[in-house]
Homo-oligomer: A and B are copies of this chain.
Amino acid sequence: MQTPLIDDLISALRVLPGVGAKSAQRMAYYLLERDRKGALRLSGALQEAMDKVGHCEQCRTFSETDFCPICASSKRNQNEICVVESPSDIAVIEQSGIFRGTYFVLMGKLSPIDGIGPDEIGLPLLELRLQQQDCSELIIATNPSVEGEATAHYLQQMAKNYQIKVSRLAQGIPLGGELEYLDSGTLTQAFISRREV
């Protein structure tokens, strides 16, 4: 026996990933009771972002300008391209500070069974870039899933046609990871990629 507007709000909050009926209700009440200003700010931010954020014309990541800050930066090495599946992968890599090149975001991965082929993940745009630009290295950072591997393989073949150096992120034991809790696939990779010290 909620009022219609509160029902609407609770049901709208459930579009958020990980938010079920209970948390949506808790959020709605919290905002109504304690943070109406914050709720209005969120309303505005959602509207603005959905209206104005599109994709970078070079790397396909989210951007409200034609080119994202990374693609537009003169401080980044435009000849190194790191291929990732999603914009959140960029966020993780940027946090590490290890990479000073640019990105290409697939916004997905090859999955023929779901009708997702090279066109759907923007590969013609990437290929054009490999043709037109003097790329020194293509770093493949897709996830180590079946589709991620298939995508990596496809990218590798593509780069070969343009004699571009291709590399992949190393797989192995994560920092602080305990052998005991590793899956055997990771352990196998760690063995295969072992280095003499």
Residues of chain B contacted by A32 (CB below 8 angstroms): 49-50, 53, 62, 87
Q: A149 at the A/B interface (Cβ < 8 Å)? A: no
Q: A78 at the A/B interface (Cβ < 8 Å)? A: no
Contact: A50 with B43, CB < 8 Å?
A: yes
Q: A86 at the A/B interface (Cβ < 8 Å)? A: yes
Q: A79 at the A/B interface (Cβ < 8 Å)? A: no
Q: A146 at the A/B interface (Cβ < 8 Å)? A: no
Bound-state CA distance A129–B17 (Å) is 43
Copies in the complex: 2
Bound-state CA distance A153–B44 (Å) is 44
Q: Which residue of B lies closest to A11 (CB)?
A: B45
Q: A179 at the A/B interface (Cβ < 8 Å)? A: no
**Stretch among A1-9, A119-127, A183-191 lining the B interface:** A1-9
Q: A18 at the A/B interface (Cβ < 8 Å)? A: yes
Q: A42 at the A/B interface (Cβ < 8 Å)? A: yes
Bound-state CA distance A99–B11 (Å) is 25
Contact: B53 with A47, CB < 8 Å?
A: no
Residue from the set A40, A50, A53, A62 with the largest chain B CB neighbour count within 10 Å? A50
Given contacts A29-B86, A65-B3, A68-B3, contact A48 B8 (CB under 8 A): yes
Contact: B15 with A42, CB < 8 Å?
A: yes
Instruction: Please give me the 6 A-B residue pairs with the lowest Cβ-Cβ distance, nearest first.
Output: A15-B38, A12-B45, A43-B46, A12-B42, A9-B49, A43-B47
**Besides the contacts A12-B38, A18-B26, A33-B107, what 9 more A-B pairs have beta carbons closer than 8 Å?**
A9-B48, A11-B45, A12-B42, A13-B16, A18-B27, A31-B49, A32-B62, A42-B46, A43-B44
